[in-house]
Amino acid sequence: MPNRDQLQGQWNEVKGRLKEHWGQLTEDDLRQCEGNADQLVGMVQRKTGAARGEVEKFINGVFQGSMGDQAAEKLHHYADAAQGFADDATQYAREQARRLAAQSSDYSAQLATTVRNRPAESLAIAFGLGIAAGAFFFLGRKR
């Protein structure tokens, strides 16, 4: 059962749910018990004929539902924060990809210029890299 502070903090919700569930309860009936869970349970029992356990279970359900709403609200807040972080990470990754693409384009242009300006040296370097790659491939294959 909720304590006095909890009951007072959620009084409007508890009162509304009790009136929905047991229509014969009046505003005056509920006002007499405001803040006292035991009085509230006793009054609902007298007015409705419901068993004490049923009334307590209903009131506890109202509080659990209210806490569930609070948990759902916090969960929604955390989900929004996580989405914000994911959006920031996506934007950062896109910026870095653009930067890398620009640098790659610059290096490609420099390489093309170097090959045009120094074709003999470029051919010798390519030949040397081919020999090194072939040696590496064949030496690795024999083991």
Low-confidence stretches of the chain (pLDDT beneath 50) = 67
DSSP structure string for 61-93: HHHHHHHHHHHHHHHHHHHHHHHHHHHHHHHHH
The span from the CA of 27 to the CA of 24, in Å, is 10
Contact 47, 29 (CB under 8 A): yes
| Closest alpha carbon to 122 in 112, 109, 107, 134 | 112
| Model pLDDT, residue 52 | 83
Q: In the prediction, which pLDDT does 72 show?
A: 63
Q: What are the chain's domains?
A: 4-104 (1.10.1470.10)
pLDDT at position 65:
56
pTM for the model:
0.38
Residue 35 DSSP SS3 = coil
φ and ψ of 49, to 5 deg: 80, 10
pLDDT at res. 6: 57
Q: Which two tokens stand for residue 80?
A: 């929004």
